[in-house]
Amino acid sequence: MAERAVNNPIGTGESLLFLTDEQLRRGIEAMFFAYRGFTADPDRILQNYEYGRAHHRAIHFINRTPGTTVNNLLSILGVTKQSLNRVLRSLIADGLVESRVGVQDKRERHLYLTETGAKLERELSEAQRNRMRAAYRNAGPEAVAGFRAVLEQMMDPEMLRHFQAGMDT
Amino acid sequence: MAERAVNNPIGTGESLLFLTDEQLRRGIEAMFFAYRGFTADPDRILQNYEYGRAHHRAIHFINRTPGTTVNNLLSILGVTKQSLNRVLRSLIADGLVESRVGVQDKRERHLYLTETGAKLERELSEAQRNRMRAAYRNAGPEAVAGFRAVLEQMMDPEMLRHFQAGMDT
DNA sequence: AGTTTATGTCAGTCTTGTTGACTTTCCAAG
DNA sequence: CTTGGAAAGTCAACAAGACTGACATAAACT
């Protein structure tokens, strides 16, 4: 087994993985450089609106789960409520997000995109999807499955929970 | 073709890719959540040293290419020199990085990790490699190849250049 | 000699994260 | 029923790390 592994460092067959520090380092740098590309297009667009990445994240997840509460958004984004609040305040003031007091629990605020908010969301996600689509196409179908599998394994358990929660919506 | 594509959205066979916005959205969120996991361990460690992610990045690439110049580091990291300078200044002051005046071109500063710097680098990269290794193992060999292929496709051309430059070192 | 390049620094701003203190609302134990 | 704590959200102040712009120095190039 050890011998086969040496001959097939990251073989595609039935061999086990034999991973050198060097190969792992390349994976790490791939993540670093790719994430830059991943955020580049939305970042460019956001400058025209005087918003930042934090606004993009809020808009994305409010769009994914309309009516989500501030608290739920907090645990998804992993920031403090004060930090998120500043972002939400500006989005609400600018009329991109609507905040409705909860019916059952009046402490909660349920968040929705307005038509303006949905329009920005589409502009941002279209740019990001175009890049993702191009990457998927050029890499091929098997690569996409592998990409998703490794990324899932890289998540912390709670992040994985949030990720999978978005599957059944 | 359209029919087969519908039946095999991201088939592994000879079918072309048929990508719904929903599938692309999952890929986008996978990147978001996975990047958090990717940086979680180093971030935790860095708190003990009163450093941030910016210091980690500098340390990583100085370790990858010892003797690199400030200018080269700038184009890899994609930040302004003022921003990088603040980070380098503190690392040099704390004795983790050494800056040597260039021999041929005395305007250049060549950067090296000291023994202390190399020690922190090992601590950080070990944590990050462990996570990457675990993700690779759980996802399997074919997944790793796909992961790398998609990430490369996601990079901007200049990032890809820097990424590939690190292959032959 | 004059220009460009590589680096460093000062000052000021912006985004986005943090902690601390506060209000409103809900719920449950006495 | 009341009261005290927990939960959700808001306001204020601060810190890290990015940015721009201006300027300085030294070395290299033309």
pLDDT tops 90 at residue A63: yes
- Residue A109 falls within a domain, yes or no? yes
What CATH number corresponds to the domain at position B74?
Answer: 1.10.10.10
- Residue B40 falls within a domain, yes or no? no
Q: Å between B1 CA and C8 C1'?
A: 61
pLDDT tops 90 at residue B98: yes
Better-scored residue on pLDDT, A129 or B13: A129
Q: How many separate domains does chain A show?
A: 1
| Cβ pair B40, B33 in contact under 8 A | no
Range of the domain at B152: 51-165
Q: What is the pLDDT of residues A68-88, one digit of tens each?
A: 999 999 999 999 999 999 999
pLDDT band at A19 (very low <50, low <70, confident <90, very high): confident
Q: Is B66 left (phi over 0), alpha (psi -120 to 50) or beta?
A: beta
DSSP string, B48-81: TTT--HHHHHHHHHHHHSTTEEHHHHHHHHT--H
- Residue B111 falls within a domain, yes or no? yes
Please name the amino acid found at residue B67. G
pLDDT tops 80 at residue B1: no
| Cβ pair B16, B5 in contact under 8 A | yes
Q: Is the CB of A129 less than 8 angstroms away from the CB of B24? A: yes
| Per-residue model confidence (pLDDT) at position B153 | 97
- Residue B114 falls within a domain, yes or no? yes
| Cβ pair B120, B128 in contact under 8 A | no
Instruction: Round to whole Å and give the CA distance between B107 and B88.
Output: 17
Instruction: Round to whole Å and give the CA distance between A65 and B2.
Output: 30
Q: Is B131 left (phi over 0), alpha (psi -120 to 50) or beta?
A: alpha
- Residue B97 falls within a domain, yes or no? yes
Q: Name every chain A residue with its beta carbon within 8 A of the beta carbon of B152.
A: 30, 34, 139
| Per-residue model confidence (pLDDT) at position A44 | 94
- Residue B70 falls within a domain, yes or no? yes
Which bases of chain D are under 7 A from a protein CB atom? 7-13, 16-22, 26-29
pLDDT band at B44 (very low <50, low <70, confident <90, very high): very high
Nearest 5°: CA angle at A102, between A85 and A67? 70
Which residues are in reach of strand C, CB within 7 A? A 50-55, 79-80, 82-84, 86-87, 102, 105-107; B 69-72, 74, 81-82, 85, 88-89, 99, 105, 107-109
**What are the two backbone dihedrals, phi and then psi, of residue B99, each rounded to the nearest 5 degrees?**
-115, 115
**Interface test mutation site (partner B, options A7, A32, A75, max chain B beta carbons within 10 A):** A32
Q: What is the pLDDT of residues B131-151, one digit of tens each?
A: 999 999 999 999 999 999 999
Q: Is the CB of B146 less than 8 angstroms away from the CB of A151? A: no
- Residue A14 falls within a domain, yes or no? no
pLDDT tops 50 at residue A2: no
**Interface test mutation site (partner A, options B22, B148, B167, max chain A beta carbons within 10 A):** B148
Q: Average pLDDT of chain B?
A: 89
Q: Name every chain A residue with its beta carbon within 8 A of the beta carbon of B37.
A: 154-156, 159
pLDDT tops 80 at residue A4: no
Q: Is the CB of A11 less than 8 angstroms away from the CB of B138? A: no
**What are the two backbone dihedrals, phi and then psi, of residue B111, each rounded to the nearest 5 degrees?**
-105, 135
Instruction: Round to whole Å and give the CA distance between B119 and B54.
Output: 17
DSSP string, A19-70: --HHHHHHHHHHHHHHHHHHHHHHHHHHHTTT--HHHHHHHHHHHHSTTEEH
